[in-house]
Structure 1
Amino acid sequence: MKKLIFGSAIALFGLSNAQIKTGTVYVSGQISYSKEENKNATSIIKDFKINPTAGLFVAKNLAVGTGLGITNKKEEYNEIYRSGSSATFVNYTGERKAVVVAPFVRKYWTLSNNLYIFGQLEIPMEFGKLNEDALATYVDEVSGYFGQQTLSAERKYTSIGVNVKPGFDYFINKNWSIEATIGEFGYKNFKYKDEGAKALNSYSFGLNLSSITFGVKYVFTK
């Protein structure tokens, strides 16, 4: 029984002598794009992110580094609001652009010579702005009245958070690997720079298969 338990532990945790050496440098990156279209509400949401990162192993299987990327999210929709004989048609466009800086520390555990699991603690900081444009058209079918109003606004914001992300890292060869994170546990503080604007706090907990991210990493081996 003891041999069985010990053998199972080795199979589960992949006890191996393979380690990533101190002083090893790597670069990696993630690119994502999504488009969500709702024909019933005539809305379209486009989301684009690019996040290159660089890391340095300061000890065996322990790396520190930072990510520096951009994010762009655009939303468009058309809505109709009716009241009696009148109707208001709203055409809205909102675009959020930001620069993201995310210093991190990452700890690896060896499963096999090619496969590692890791836990990453990062502090993502986002500095951006939201541009909003809307055209409101008012029509009264009884009186025949027709009017339009254009609205535009720009709002700057900052966001800072603390996240813990679990993941896997598989080395195809000594230089290239594919890494993936599954969900996150974290906290984020978001605030517009408008006078009197209140901060928004959000929390995320759990391993979410719908939020898996993939990246490719190049390791500068010695």
Structure 2
Amino acid sequence: MKKIILTVAAVFALTFANAQDKKESTGEGFSNGDLYLTGTAGFSSSKTGDLKNDGFTLSPGLGYFIADNLAIEGQLTYESTKVDNGISEDKTSGFGIAAGVKYFWTPASKFSLSIGGNLSYMSTKYDNADVTTKEIGVNIPLGLNYFVSNDWALTAEWGGFGYSSNDNGGDGAEKTTGFNLGVDLSTISFGLLYKL
């Protein structure tokens, strides 16, 4: 009788442990093989006298966990700005693409910190000047995710270190290159993430 009770107890214990593992893998947080959609959107508008400046940015992205702590990501970006001084309008529009990797310290938990590395390309057209600039960049952002449900998370990303090179339209124009090390929170961006 003692062996039967111990066997039943062992079966219940293993079943409970297995149920807990399944709950963790389908609950909040990430695990190997998870696919997610992420992105940011922004709108800005300012006016000083007759000068009005409007801007819009949309950056959807897709990520996939290739290991428990490591995800690969891809992102598209669309930007549009309009400056109106009451006499004329200057419009710009840009399209960009980025790809990279991101390492998560505690991916299976509700709250996770991350560090990443990505390579980006952005093409921006200035309508009035009839010039198109091309910019490449490398960025090492710090980030965090906070799951508010099993599928939705709030995200924040801070561009810690970056390098960029802009051809300023080419055709003999001098390139602009720059390094950026952000130590304040002025470069922080917020977004949403949906785990598929």
The question of a shared fold, defined as TM-score above 0.5 by the shorter chain, is answered with yes
Partner of 2:44: 34
Compute the displacement of 1:21 (Å): 1.6
Preserved contact between residue 60 and residue 76 of structure 2 (Cα < 8 Å)? yes
4+ residue runs over 3 A deviation: none
More helix by share: 2
Q: Residue by residue, what CA displacement relative to the aligned partner does 1:69-104 show, whole Å, maximum 9, x if unpaired?
A: 2111122226xxxxxxxxxxxx34221111110112
1:13-92 matches, cutoff 5 A: 20-39=30-49, 42-77=50-85, 91-92=87-88
1:127 correspondence with 2:123: yes
Partner of 2:137: 161
Computed over aligned residues only, the root mean square deviation of the Cα atoms, in angstroms, reads 2.0
Compute the displacement of 1:111 (Å): 8.5
Q: Distance in 1 between matches of 2:123 and 2:77?
A: 11
Q: Residue by residue, what CA displacement relative to the aligned partner does 1:32-71 show, whole Å, maximum 9, x if unpaired?
A: 01112222xx322211100000011011121002001211
Q: Distance in 2 between matches of 1:37 and 1:202?
A: 29
Q: Where does the alignment leave 5 or more consecutive residues of structure 2 unmatched?
A: 1-27
1:186 correspondence with 2:162: yes
% identical aligned pairs: 25
Between the two proteins, the alignment pairs up a number of residues equal to 169
SS in 1 for 2:127: strand
Partner of 2:21: none
Q: 1:23 to 1:180 in 2, by over 3 A?
A: same
Q: Where does the alignment leave 5 or more consecutive residues of structure 1 unmatched?
A: 1-17, 79-90, 133-152
TM-score (norm 2): 0.79
SS in 2 for 1:113: coil
Partner of 1:213: 189
Q: Distance in 2 between matches of 1:26 and 1:207?
A: 29
Partner of 1:176: 152
Q: Residue by residue, what CA displacement relative to the aligned partner does 1:145-165 show, whole Å, maximum 9, x if unpaired?
A: xxxxxxxx3101111000111
